[in-house]
């Protein structure tokens, strides 16, 4: 009997070893298959999805964060901030001493939507003091706008953000309910108005650590929190005055309910005004960054593995609503025409006034990019389509087009604000085994409307 048991154990061990060897062989074959597909397309296979944003947040000084709220989410925010090594003060009451102590004020959206209205004037004063203020949690954007009131955005800021306008040019300040973080900071005055910078994070999932890390990285990029300032590819701006920016981050691009990439966008706005004959015209430069990342990590859809996701196509659109508001007129755009597999894209856009220009130069090295462009002057819709010439995963591809519109006061609705709607579409391509079809495509998209003002006194 003992001999039989020993033989049985030996057989069981042999079977387990065979299963292990077969599994390793299958894994190696699977990885090799991906490597071959990636190699044929100029990319590589890499088991990483670049989603550890907390580890990417870097700064060189102590940051004081004042958290306002009650409940579980506030506790989670405090824990996330401590994990990042920040100084944290938590309160259910907003007071001036806490504001003065802090570098950043974080407001829970539930608090903002309930008792926050009692502190409306203090919140507005905090923004006026050029202190970063962020609202986080469910429906954060709409709850913050409700907290401070529409009139604050309409009357005190050179730029505000929302949905598509109503037909009579009445602003629509409603944001998607999936906005999980909404932040504003005003860094300078332009005439009688404050010039704002916005960060908007839109996501189905709530991830406080990720969103707070993104907030800090954004403040570093702006030079607000001590850190290395990020430089973009706009190399020269002459004549135009800066009137604000919007950073919009959309998480995630999904395939079979798995995160396979992300879409981010940034738009900056500039203004120039001049009298031409008897008419005072106002030109607005819109400079856009459209960023797409594809993840290399392996995910599964049923019995099929997918990996090596990378940008396949980026569509960028600016809608000047000329068909609805004839006084908003297209003037210039860049880049124009079409080019195939270039390592750099350089262009210049200009207003119809001598010396009022902006220059942009974008490099793709060692990778290359192709693009096409189009404009419909009757509708005011400007479009670009960019496609990389190599399939490179775990890489953020950036495209940076620009357009200029002007307000013609002789035409209907030729008055401020200039209203433009941005559309961003990022399509990514991934690879799988031959029995599962070899390739797969999915996409992410986002849109928002910017309301832009010059901050100058109206001139007839």
Judgement on whether residues 246 and 200 belong to the same structural domain of the protein:
no
Overall pTM > 0.95: no
Instruction: Count Cβ atoms below 10 Å from residue 357 Cβ, excluding itself.
Output: 19
Judgement on whether residues 431 and 314 belong to the same structural domain of the protein:
yes
Cα–Cα distances in angstroms (integers) from residue 173 to residues 102, 162, 212, 258, 417, in the given order? 28, 4, 24, 31, 13
User: Is 65 a domain residue?
Assistant: yes
Judgement on whether residues 264 and 412 belong to the same structural domain of the protein:
yes
Domain that holds residue 263: 37-50+231-460
Distance CA 175, CA 235 (A): 32
Helices 208-221/72-83 angle, 10° precision: 50
Distance CA 267, CA 269 (A): 7
Judgement on whether residues 204 and 339 belong to the same structural domain of the protein:
no
* 85 cis-preceded (ω within 30 degrees of 0): no
Look at phi and psi of residue 140 and say left if phi exceeds 0, alpha if psi is from -120 to 50, else beta: alpha
Residue 9 is predicted with a pLDDT of 58
Q: Work out how many domains the chain is built from and give that number.
A: 2
DSSP state letters, 236-301: EEES-EEEEEEEEEEEEEEETTEEEEEEEEEEEEEEEEEEETTEEEEEEEEEEEEEEEE--S-EEE
Cβ distance 343 to 364 under 8 Å? yes
Judgement on whether residues 174 and 272 belong to the same structural domain of the protein:
no
53 SS3 class: helix
Judgement on whether residues 274 and 346 belong to the same structural domain of the protein:
yes
Judgement on whether residues 386 and 247 belong to the same structural domain of the protein:
yes
- CATH at residue 133: 3.40.50
Residue 363 is predicted with a pLDDT of 83
Contacts of 11 (CB under 8 A, 6+ apart): none
Residue 49 is predicted with a pLDDT of 43
Distance CA 136, CA 141 (A): 8
- What DSSP designation does 168 have? T
> Per DSSP, which regions of 26-82 are E strands?
64-68
Domain boundary among 205, 227, 249: 227
As beta bridge partners, residue 149 has none
Distance CA 391, CA 39 (A): 9
User: Is 87 a domain residue?
Assistant: yes
User: Is 192 a domain residue?
Assistant: yes
Domain boundary among 227, 259, 280: 227
Cβ distance 458 to 191 under 8 Å? no
Judgement on whether residues 201 and 220 belong to the same structural domain of the protein:
yes
Residue 187 is predicted with a pLDDT of 82
User: Exposed, middle or buried by CB within 10 Å (0-12, 13-18, 19+), for 28?
Assistant: exposed
Domain boundary among 198, 227, 256: 227
Cβ distance 338 to 346 under 8 Å? no
Q: β-pairing, 279-294 with 258-276?
A: antiparallel
Judgement on whether residues 177 and 291 belong to the same structural domain of the protein:
no
Helices 120-128/140-148 angle, 10° precision: 100
Cα 379 from chain centroid (whole Å)? 26
- CATH at residue 248: 2.70.240
As beta bridge partners, residue 268 has 245, 287
Residue 418 structure tokens: 């200039």
Distance CA 48, CA 28 (A): 17
Judgement on whether residues 42 and 86 belong to the same structural domain of the protein:
no
The closest of 307, 180, 290, 293 to 256, measured between CA atoms, is 307
* pLDDT one digit per residue (tens) for the chain, 460 residues: 544 445 455 555 554 444 444 444 434 443 443 343 333 332 222 334 434 454 345 555 688 999 999 889 999 999 999 988 899 999 999 999 999 999 999 999 999 999 999 999 999 999 999 999 999 999 999 999 999 999 999 999 999 999 999 999 999 999 999 999 999 999 888 788 999 999 999 999 889 989 998 999 899 888 877 655 555 688 888 999 999 999 999 989 999 999 999 999 999 999 999 999 999 999 999 999 999 999 999 999 999 999 999 999 999 999 999 999 999 999 999 999 999 999 999 999 999 887 888 888 888 765 799 999 999 999 999 999 999 999 999 999 999 999 999 999 999 999 999 999 999 999 999 999 999 999 999 999 999 999 999 976 544 4
The closest of 453, 440, 414, 402 to 271, measured between CA atoms, is 453
Judgement on whether residues 323 and 359 belong to the same structural domain of the protein:
yes
397 SS3 class: strand
190 SS3 class: strand
Judgement on whether residues 208 and 253 belong to the same structural domain of the protein:
no
Cα–Cα distances in angstroms (integers) from residue 380 to residues 151, 191, 347, 420, in the given order? 28, 28, 20, 9
The closest of 164, 136, 209, 106 to 324, measured between CA atoms, is 164
Query: Tokens 């998480």 label which residue?
Result: 251
């Amino acid at each position: 009997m003992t001999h039989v048991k020993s033989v049985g154990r030996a057989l069981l061990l042999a079977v387990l070893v065979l299963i292990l060897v077969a599994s390793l062989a299958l894994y190696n074959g699977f990885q090799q298959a991906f490597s071959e597909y990636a190699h044929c397309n100029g990319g590589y296979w890499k088991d990483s999805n670049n989603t550890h944003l907390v580890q990417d947040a870097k700064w060189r000084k102590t940051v004081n964060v004042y958290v306002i709220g009650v409940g579980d989410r506030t506790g989670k925010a405090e824990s996330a901030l401590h994990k990042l090594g920040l100084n944290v003060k938590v309160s259910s009451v907003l007071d001036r001493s806490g504001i003065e102590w802090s570098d950043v004020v974080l407001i829970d959206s539930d608090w903002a939507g309930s008792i926050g209205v009692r502190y409306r004037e203090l919140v507005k004063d905090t923004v006026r003091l050029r202190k970063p203020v962020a609202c986080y949690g469910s429906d954060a954007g709409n709850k913050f706008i409700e907290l401070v009131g529409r009139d604050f955005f309409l009357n005190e800021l050179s730029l505000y953000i929302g949905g598509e306008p109503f037909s009579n040019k009445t602003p629509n300040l409603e944001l998607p309910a999936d906005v999980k973080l909404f932040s504003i900071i005003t860094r300078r005055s332009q005439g009688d108005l404050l010039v704002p910078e916005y960060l908007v994070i839109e996501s189905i999932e709530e991830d406080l650590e990720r969103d707070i890390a993104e907030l800090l990285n954004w403040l570093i990029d702006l030079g607000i929190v001590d850190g290395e300032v990020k430089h973009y590819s706009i190399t020269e701006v002459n004549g135009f005055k800066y009137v604000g920016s919007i950073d919009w981050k959309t998480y995630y691009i999904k395939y079979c309910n798995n995160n396979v990439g992300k879409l981010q966008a940034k738009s900056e706005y500039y203004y120039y005004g001049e009298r031409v004959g008897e008419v005072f015209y106002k030109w607005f430069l819109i400079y856009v960054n459209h960023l797409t990342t594809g993840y290399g990590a392996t995910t599964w859809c049923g019995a099929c593995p997918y990996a090596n996701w990378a940008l396949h196509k980026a569509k960028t659109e600016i809608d000047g609503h000329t068909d609805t508001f004839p006084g908003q007129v297209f003037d210039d755009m860049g880049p124009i025409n079409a080019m195939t597999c270039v390592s750099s894209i350089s262009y210049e856009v200009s207003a119809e006034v001598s010396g009022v220009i902006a220059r942009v130069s974008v490099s793709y090295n060692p990778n290359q990019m192709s693009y096409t462009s189009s404009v419909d002057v009757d509708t005011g819709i400007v479009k670009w389509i960019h496609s990389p010439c190599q399939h490179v995963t775990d890489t953020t591809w950036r495209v940076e087009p620009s357009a200029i519109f002007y307000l013609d006061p002789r035409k209907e609705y030729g008055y401020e604000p200039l209203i433009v709607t941005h559309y961003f579409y990022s399509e990514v391509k991934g690879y799988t085994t031959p029995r599962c079809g070899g390739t797969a495509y999915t996409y992410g998209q986002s849109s928002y409307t910017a309301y832009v003002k010059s901050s100058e006194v109206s001139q007839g």
